[in-house]
Structure 1
Amino acid sequence: MRSSLWAKSDGKAICRETKAIAILLLIAFCVSTLANQAVSTSGKWELLYHQDFEAPADEWSSLEREGLACNYIEGEYEIELKCSECSSSWSVPTHVPLEDFAMEVEFRFLEGMGGVGIRFRFQDRDHFYLLEISSNGGYSVWRKYGEYKHVRYGHWYPVIEDSAIDSFDPSRSHKLRLEAEGSRFRFSLDGQLIKEFVEETFGIGGVGLTVRTYDEPHLKVAIDDLSVWRKNVTTEAEEGNWPIILSLHEIYPFNIEAANWDVSSRRMSMYQVLMTDTYPIFDMEALVSFSDEGEADLIFGYLDRYNFYFAGVDNLGHCRIGRFVEGELQELALGKCAGFSVGGPVYLRAQVRPTDVTLWVNDEKVLDQVRISCGGGKIAVGATFESLEAESLAFSDFKLRMPVDTFKIQFSTASEYEQAVGWESLGDLEKALDGLRKSLELVESTQWDSFHWEILNRLAQLYSSLGNYRSCLQMLDQAVTVALRLGHPLRVATTYLDLGFYHRVVGNLEPAIECYRKVVEMKLGEAVPGFPDPKWIRAEALLRLGAIYSFLEEEDLKIFNISQAIDLFESLWKEEPQGEEDKHNNALVSYALGQCWFQLGIYEAAARFFSSARGELEESTDPDDVIRWISSIELEGLCYYERGEYEQAFSKFSQALELYHERHISRLNEVILLMHMAVCKFHLGQYQTALDLADQAMALAEKTLVSPSKTFQILAELYYQLGQIYDKTGDISRAIEEWEKAVRVIEGIRAYMRQAYLKQRYLGVNLGCYSALIRAFYTLRESEEVLQYIERAKARTLVDMMETAMITQSEFLPSETQTASELLKELGGLYEVVEEPSLDVTHGPSEARADIVYTLQWAQEQYEAVLNELERENPVLGETLSVNPDRLWERCQDVRKSMGRGVVALEYFVTDKETLLLVITREGVQTSSVIPISRAELTDRLREFREEVNTAPSPGEEATRALQARALGKELYDLLIAPVEEYLQTASHLVIVPSDVLFYLPFGALFRCPGCGTKRELWGGEYLIGRYSISYAPSLASLYWPFKHRGDGVYYQALVVGNPTGDLEYAGEEAQGIASLFPRAELVVGDAGTKATVLGLIGGGNYDVIHLATHGEFDRELPLASRVYFNQWEPLYAGEMLGLGLRGCELVVLSACQTGLPPEVTQELVLGDELQGLSQALFVAGTPSALLTLWNVNDQSTRQLMEKMYKELMGGVPKGEALRRAQLSLLRNTMYRHPYFWAPFVLYGVWR
């Protein structure tokens, strides 16, 4: 489906399959080796081609299609047409365009009625002759000329009207021969001359064969012994040959009554296009007769009515060469014909090159080599009148000439292109791709930009159909460059529209937004034939921008852009449609408005517009309209679904499913619709029907989905939904089985396989599967399984984090990961290649794509091998790049057994509806508890608490603020700790394993005060830090390597960096005070603290402690881009920390970082990754413990806390307890007792 709403021009549909073939089926292999063709110099005629049909040949394929069959039968080539008024054509691969030639073919009619003919002087699908013999014994010669329309025959002009052949027997074989020398033609039948005639319109072109039916829907003919000769010419003669490409004796006069009045220029103008897109090396000439005043123009480089070049003369001999750009006139040169005779016919000639044009009038060179920049376009003649009293002027004897070598390039390029279009229409995309690549290679050696742009756009569409979005984007990038060089705003705009669409498809949101904004900001003129209305273009860009901002949850920008799109679409509505074109326009407007209102969530309005669009779209045969028609039904169903009207939604989904299935349009949509239908029945309580539909969706998905990315995404969702349905029916065992399948799929999905447009669906299913399993096992009281799946969910998050960084920001990562990063990017590109956007595949990948699939498999194997090698060399880093459930559980068990007496781990798992809490000791899971609070409410409470503790109390309000902090802390304590308080009676240390929003909570500031009913009573309670030392871990298993890396607890040498950015007043003093506590310390303060200096010291030293008192910043979108800053704000990223080599360093302290809850927390937003990312990076680097801060704190209080903590450490106190004592020292100081001062310090990793 095209990615933009294009203006349509309906032609009479003969038979869709055979019309496609007539357009080019086997226009076959017209010209591929023109430049190297040798020319014989002996004899009169040279045999170029012969086919006896004894053996199959590529250019004469055996095929069976609806409406057409071609087969080799006993030494003949039989062609059968099975529809009325249809035709099929074959180009004979002579490899050169022909001027003087002879063609001979033997044929006989076997069944039915119709005609067989020789197509000659073929230049493109709209410019050629046809000599035809009919089965009723008549002959005729036709000229196909696409720019003029005959009043009776349309684009077909009779050269010789239908005439009878004496004693013609259609059942016997006949030999038809056509000879051409210049403009003289003669043809004979069975050796007898039938007719000689003269026709000058086309002077050169290819030859071919055409078979067609008339009123009756059946014709079968047999073809044999086809030969083509050409007249020999010398190489020298051919090099100097400028054959006539087009010759027209008469052109309809230009009358003042038919001209268009331009108010701004006070001119009347009109034009007539004579030739389609032409390579800009040619001569054009014509005779002009003036009846009155006026200007006659030869027009070239014609892109549309507002963009073209012209060279002209008026009735007084004044000459000019100029250009119109978006309707604005640019005069390039003016002159006067010295020998001009007023009143007589004028001979006008223009010699055009890509960079200049020369104008002759009556053989006088008036304007010589005027500079232009012409990249091709149509050829026309035109007239301009200065006065309403003018009458008319007329052109005659028009001729277009081109060097034969130039025409060969044009002919070859166009032939390869049209051959490719034919193969594409037949569904053979690989042959189509080959043809388009050949035409691109040919056109790239020229300055034919207009056709170059056309080829690039067609290639982009084809690559999209093949799922190769990377190549599609490359073609569109080139197309933008060509369109800009061509200077045609509509081509630029439509290309940017497509470029933005495919950037969006692959998840490149910023480039997509940039493309759409360029479209919106472009100055576009009026609507012109062949291109979408500029209002459509701009409206669609706005609609797509709105959709992206909807995805990004930028509500204001979404509404702003979509509202503008609605205004533009409404301006395109025809209040009183006059004909079919206006009705079709209104259908497209309705469809577009439906999309707009759907994006805004106004589902009632959206459904009304989709319903309105359906009627007209249903009648259209255009493939894009068929897609829109079915899509409008599906989208109307989604509108009902979003409104909770499940019966109506089910009905619409069923209707759309049937249509998709009948027309074989999209297997993916069939799967999704079946799942939508299942969910509707689920909501209606019809669980068995829901199960049946879900089973059908699963069977279809497993059978036909070949796209790796979408297959995994859809399968995961299907398994998840199946589990939901089984759970509702009470079959918990089967539900668990389906959810476990979903989890296995999810854990196999690499980051490079997730298209950005499925991100929200992926995250929803991901969290939903784990949450469903965890809740199910909790219900069954299987605590070990609950813990396993909580740990697997958190490990999956870490793998996502690492692989996303490897793909998007590999420069942040250590050199050890670079090979894996490159392979990961290559895999992402290969998945784009094999991705099928419509998934209309029933037999798996085509043979032609087998090499790509093989390469993909090889790259996957290489990536896994690199990971295995990485794991051997750096086990800690290697384990962050995959989820191995068995190994993960072993790590969990090892950590649990190493926890020691008095240590209790509290592991949380936040879901949409509730939070699960596990209490774990060295003996195992002691209990599990469900905290009945939704994620949204938990977030609100935590936000209120963070707002209180994030801000220092003002002088005089210390007591009031302290009580407020205790009150809010008590609410969270009662919620998160009190339910399991009895299991903490003998504990001295708590390991908090947070989840989601709980990563932003300083648990030490939770307040225990049983029975407290008033604020005054809160003075009698105590903070959690008063009872226990506290540490944190991203997951329980994440402590495995920190435990392995912990040292002996002796702190001798430190690297202390203070205030390298120069704006932390007390950080330098803090650093000096800390350094003085260690027997040996490297102190770096102020400007000396450059990134290079600090990294050099880390690499060359053996420090027990690294203390960085500097600014830091967490990155929620890309956690491994979280960073600390050195002199001149040079960042050190968390990804870089992975390779620091901190083995032997007992503790890393980052004392001025900050993080917090985002302004809005959505269902799809996973929180806390930045804290996990930074702590995990330091663990991988080799340190067992990291002290981080949740918000920026007072410099003076931080200095006191740090000095106290280090003194305790130097005295042999464990890290967790040392931090606790330091925090309590501030808590007991009335100046610093508010949690703002002491609570943000959180210790990750080993606490001993």
Structure 2
Amino acid sequence: MHPFQLTKRLVRFSLTHVVLFTLAFFLTLIPSTFAKQPHTNSSDKFHTQTTKFPATTPQQLLEQGEALYQSGRFAEAITVLQQAVRISQREGDNLAQAAALTNLSLTFQQLGSWKEASKAINTSLNLLGWNGDNQKLNVNSPKSEFLEILAQTLEIQGGLQLSQGQADVSLKTSQQAEQIWKRLGKQYNTGVTRSRINQAQALRVSGFYRRSLDILEEISQQLQTQPDSLEKVTALRSLGNVEQQSGKLEESQKNLQQSLEIAQRLQLPQEMSLTQLSLGNTARALDQRENAIAHYKNAALIAPNPLTKVQAQINQLSLLVKDKNKADVKPSDATSLLISTIQSQLATLPINQAGIYTRINFARTISKIGNKKDIAKILASSVQQAKMIGSERAQSYALGSLAEVYEQNNQWQEAQNLTEQALFIAQKILASDIAYRWEWQLGRLLKAQGNIERAIAAYDSAVASLQSLRSDLVAVNQEVQFNFRDSVEPIYRESVELLLQQKGQEKPDLDKVRKRIEALQLAELDNFFREACLSNQFVVLDKVVDRDNLNTAIFYPIILDNRLEVILKLPNQPLIHKTSVVNRQKVEKAITNMRETIVEPDASKNFQEVSQKIYDWLIKPVESELKNSGVKTLVFIPDGSLRNIPVCALYDGKEYLVQKYAIAISPGLQLFTPKPLAQERLNALAGGLSQPPKNEKFAPLPNVKVELKLIQQSGVSTMTLLDENFKSTTLRKTINAQPFRVVHLATHGQFSSRAKDTFILAADGRINVRDLDNLLKSREQTRTEPVELLVLSACQTAAGDNRAALGLAGVAIRAGARSTLASLWQIGDNSTVVFIDEFYRQLTTGKTTAEALREAQLRLLSNTEYNRPLYWAPYVLVGNWL
């Protein structure tokens, strides 16, 4: 079962309603099958417990034990298998004894008897002479019986290790099983496939999603031409789950549907149920609520085991809890009934890691609406169960969740004690993905008790833990999957708020404050792409301003719950700190109104009023400092929704900010070292699409040809790709032809808070931001010169997406260009031509990029036809302003 990738889609539900989606991953391994002694007689058939003669041989007892196991009669299966162990031991048949012990381990696992399961599997491996090194196996073992039993035993051991939270050990075990299956020959390719799928699951549980995806894509490709099989069902479901994790939702839905159809043809109820559960999660990620509920109901209806059934019901419940305030939902009926149904089944869940997480997440799901004593009882029981099976990860999670209940009840000291226990365990097992939550929780508790210094230290630790989760682990481990806006962003903002109210100092540590906000912005970009997208080749902007750009000031606005903070960096001066007392809701409303009225034809007065309001909060407190410093360029590092408005259009009551200063945007305190655009050899690759592809609902851009021609006439050496020549393949090839300093793309595009919805149009379809990244950076293989300036002249932010400008920042970072010029909304074709003409003419005269942008905007502002902000304000320069 795959967890929700809420961060990329910004679905608003909290961690308490997210972690539950992770639970069924324990069942996405190919179901462990009984290890069997290979038959020498091919006519031997499976014997059930209904045979007319009592089972007396180890082989017959194994078959009887398997039949009991498959029918869910685990206690009886254990009795039969223990008899098989005794008889084979008496007969000196080590191979039969090993097989019986392996199957005994598998059966003990189903009952949550982890010590017995581990003891049985280890005894089996000792009998087989396994020392963990397949290079030292006895290759002279009789035929292949030994290797076959060993490979099966390692498969079952890998499943046991994963269910106990030992994903890294499970990965190694599955790799060893794969090697042994390969030694047995091509006729055992099914075993190889099973082991590789199990490796992919172990990688996924460890957070290595890309590696997991690579394995599963290869396996699924190989299985496409093969007949329907359990392996095919599991591989496709596993692939769909990882695609869901990676934000490839349409691909996820397609592969999961194929997995379901095969499982239905093979009549495999457990596989059908698990895949329905995965389909429900993908549908939910796609905001297909009713579809998700239907899949959850189907999963619960056909589930042959209580764990999958309850997981599906909890997922359904979480939707009802999420929507409990909606008029069309009757929480008192539907929610209460479902809660009662789930509660009545908790006792039937296995005492294994998946079962424990199911109980925990049920408690967390009802934390806001359930009885606190009942919730605490479930969590306290989960703590004991986690101790029983030796899962420290589950124990930490249960303790921290129990602490959260005490926190909600304002029992600060009890909550703190439990949180510290949970944190100690998480730190001991190096689980940063869990530790950051308890560090954050501890910070909240200490703050509530007035211990600000210790609270700051706890928040510092939480931020450090989050930063350690970058790179391949950026998606964060399965059990603690989070919604970025609910469970990560608040840590940074609450930390900043504490730092600014820190006592015992004359002034707060402003440098630490802005670096904390920078860390948030980098985390947002990482989260946008689901990978650590920034390398370490950065420079602190302060040094650039103090040493080389004495006419530049840097603005750091920070939106907090009850105020708007501004930190200003002027050349060779200490940081300046100003506060506007205004709550977040008021700021967000003003930003929304500014964005809405700027594009309305008859709302100029309303626009100026709201624009002046934001000006008064952001700029007015430092007006005199800016004027006295003599700066000419303002570089903004906008926070949150401030990215969505054009700062150049802030109004002071008489004139706009662009009439006073050149303006640029930076995605953080650090970026590639700003350097002046190379005017002496300014050359451009100019691509354009006047007629969008037929399947795209975008209007034609008839003036694209004029726009590209004007670039050439401005004195810029230009290579042009127009219409049918403007394809992704041609663009990739051409960009390597010579060291272009400028890449200008006059085509429709869209910026979104979702990477998959951020793209530009080419004649052969959409070029996604990830593809654009790969395309532009392909030049690095043959060219060392970076693209100095990327211009996207007909793009727009996605309608209704109040964080869409994050996509613009993502493009700016991933394109590898020093600076990116783009528009927040699509402008009229005619005004774009005027703007582009002036922009390039100014560039060729030696102006900085920010100054050239300002001059082009002022030209439109001075034109009575285009003087409304609608026409000149949307252009945004991100990155290098020189």
Secondary structure of 2:795 counterpart? coil
State whether structure 2 residue 800 is matched by structure 1 residue 1170: no
Secondary structure of 1:990 counterpart? strand
Which residue pairs with 2:517 in the alignment?
790
Match of residue 686, structure 2, among 1054, 1057, 1061: 1057
Distance in 1 (alpha carbons) for counterparts of 2:495 and 2:881: 32
Which residue pairs with 1:963 in the alignment?
605
Distance apart, 1:1003 and its partner CA: 1.2
Match of residue 517, structure 1, among 240, 257, 260: 257
State whether structure 2 residue 89 is matched by structure 1 residue 210: no
Letter in 1 for 2:467: E
CA spacing shift, 1:1139–1:736, aligned 2, 3 Å: farther
State whether structure 2 residue 489 is matched by structure 1 residue 770: no
State whether structure 2 residue 297 is matched by structure 1 residue 566: yes
Distance apart, 1:671 and its partner CA: 0.8
Letter in 1 for 2:705: G
Which residue pairs with 2:862 in the alignment?
1228
Which residue pairs with 1:1032 in the alignment?
665
Secondary structure of 1:994 counterpart? coil
Distance apart, 1:752 and its partner CA: 0.8
Distance in 1 (alpha carbons) for counterparts of 2:673 and 2:556: 19
Distance apart, 1:1137 and its partner CA: 3.5
Match of residue 978, structure 1, among 617, 620, 623: 620
Distance apart, 1:1235 and its partner CA: 1.3
State whether structure 2 residue 556 is matched by structure 1 residue 907: yes
Distance apart, 1:697 and its partner CA: 0.8
Letter in 2 for 1:734: R
Which residue pairs with 2:103 in the alignment?
none
Match of residue 836, structure 2, among 1202, 1226, 1236: 1202
**1:1035-1072 Cα shifts (integer Å, max 9, x gaps):** 2432x611xx2268x56755473745465322322333
Distance in 1 (alpha carbons) for counterparts of 2:608 and 2:472: 46
Distance in 2 (alpha carbons) for counterparts of 1:461 and 1:928: 54
TM-score (norm 1): 0.51
Secondary structure of 2:796 counterpart? coil
Secondary structure of 2:673 counterpart? helix
Letter in 2 for 1:678: A
State whether structure 2 residue 822 is matched by structure 1 residue 1193: no
Conserved 8 A contact 1:1086-1:1127: no
**1:840-886 Cα shifts (integer Å, max 9, x gaps):** xxxxxxxxxxxxxxxxxxxxxxxxxxxxxxxxxxxxxxxx4139xxx
Distance in 1 (alpha carbons) for counterparts of 2:757 and 2:523: 15
CA spacing shift, 1:741–1:969, aligned 2, 3 Å: same
Which residue pairs with 1:919 in the alignment?
568
CA spacing shift, 1:642–1:549, aligned 2, 3 Å: farther
**Residue ranges of structure 2 left out of the alignment (5+ in a row):** 1-22, 44-54, 78-82, 95-141, 163-168, 325-330, 503-507, 692-699
Which residue pairs with 2:853 in the alignment?
1219
Secondary structure of 2:634 counterpart? strand
**Identity between Structure 1 and Structure 2 (%):** 18
CA spacing shift, 1:1196–1:900, aligned 2, 3 Å: same
Match of residue 1242, structure 1, among 873, 876, 879: 876
CA spacing shift, 1:792–1:1120, aligned 2, 3 Å: farther
Distance apart, 1:1125 and its partner CA: 4.5
Distance apart, 1:696 and its partner CA: 0.5
Which residue pairs with 1:1155 in the alignment?
796
Which residue pairs with 1:992 in the alignment?
636
CA spacing shift, 1:606–1:591, aligned 2, 3 Å: farther
Which residue pairs with 2:420 in the alignment?
695
Conserved 8 A contact 1:1202-1:1222: yes
Distance apart, 1:1215 and its partner CA: 4.5
Distance apart, 1:506 and its partner CA: 7.8
Distance apart, 1:441 and its partner CA: 4.9
Secondary structure of 1:923 counterpart? coil
Distance in 2 (alpha carbons) for counterparts of 1:1209 and 1:441: 63
Match of residue 1070, structure 1, among 680, 684, 707: 707
Which residue pairs with 2:320 in the alignment?
600
Distance in 2 (alpha carbons) for counterparts of 1:974 and 1:509: 43
Letter in 1 for 2:420: D
Distance in 2 (alpha carbons) for counterparts of 1:680 and 1:900: 53
Q: Which has the higher contact order (CA 8 A, sep 6+)?
A: 2
CA spacing shift, 1:1154–1:933, aligned 2, 3 Å: farther
Distance in 2 (alpha carbons) for counterparts of 1:1106 and 1:591: 50
State whether structure 2 residue 676 is matched by structure 1 residue 1046: yes
Distance apart, 1:691 and its partner CA: 1.6
TM-score (norm 2): 0.69
State whether structure 2 residue 400 is matched by structure 1 residue 675: yes
CA spacing shift, 1:791–1:614, aligned 2, 3 Å: closer
Distance in 2 (alpha carbons) for counterparts of 1:460 and 1:967: 60
Conserved 8 A contact 1:519-1:541: yes
Conserved 8 A contact 1:500-1:512: yes
Conserved 8 A contact 1:991-1:1031: yes
Distance in 2 (alpha carbons) for counterparts of 1:2 and 1:700: 24
Which residue pairs with 2:448 in the alignment?
728
**1:662-718 Cα shifts (integer Å, max 9, x gaps):** x22532221112111222222222222222111101111122x26xxxx12112222
Secondary structure of 1:210 counterpart? helix
Which residue pairs with 1:893 in the alignment?
542
Secondary structure of 2:865 counterpart? coil
CA spacing shift, 1:1174–1:125, aligned 2, 3 Å: same
Conserved 8 A contact 1:996-1:1167: no
Question: Residues 458-477 of structure 1 correspond to what in structure 2 (within 5 A)?
Answer: none
Question: Residues 1001-1150 of structure 1 correspond to what in structure 2 (within 5 A)?
Answer: 1001-1009=645-653, 1021-1038=654-671, 1041-1042=673-674, 1045-1046=675-676, 1053-1055=682-684, 1057=686, 1059=688, 1061=690, 1063-1078=700-715, 1081-1082=717-718, 1084=720, 1086=722, 1090=726, 1107-1114=744-751, 1116-1118=753-755, 1123=760, 1125=762, 1133-1138=772-777, 1148=789, 1150=791
Q: Which of the two has greater helix per residue?
A: 2
Letter in 2 for 1:738: A
Q: Which of the two has greater strand per residue?
A: 1
Conserved 8 A contact 2:792-2:822: yes
CA spacing shift, 1:924–1:1229, aligned 2, 3 Å: same
**1:395-435 Cα shifts (integer Å, max 9, x gaps):** xxxxxxxxxxxxx9897787557766887899899898699
Conserved 8 A contact 1:1074-1:1202: yes
Distance in 1 (alpha carbons) for counterparts of 2:24 and 2:467: 34
State whether structure 2 residue 474 is matched by structure 1 residue 754: yes
Letter in 2 for 1:652: I
Which residue pairs with 1:882 in the alignment?
536
Question: Residues 98-177 of structure 1 correspond to what in structure 2 (within 5 A)?
Answer: 123=59, 125-126=61-62
Question: Residues 418-433 of structure 1 correspond to what in structure 2 (within 5 A)?
Answer: none
Conserved 8 A contact 1:614-1:633: no
Distance in 2 (alpha carbons) for counterparts of 1:649 and 1:1202: 62
Distance in 2 (alpha carbons) for counterparts of 1:1067 and 1:523: 52
Distance in 1 (alpha carbons) for counterparts of 2:310 and 2:738: 70
Distance apart, 1:1112 and its partner CA: 4.4
Question: Residues 258-277 of structure 1 correspond to what in structure 2 (within 5 A)?
Answer: none
Conserved 8 A contact 2:748-2:761: yes
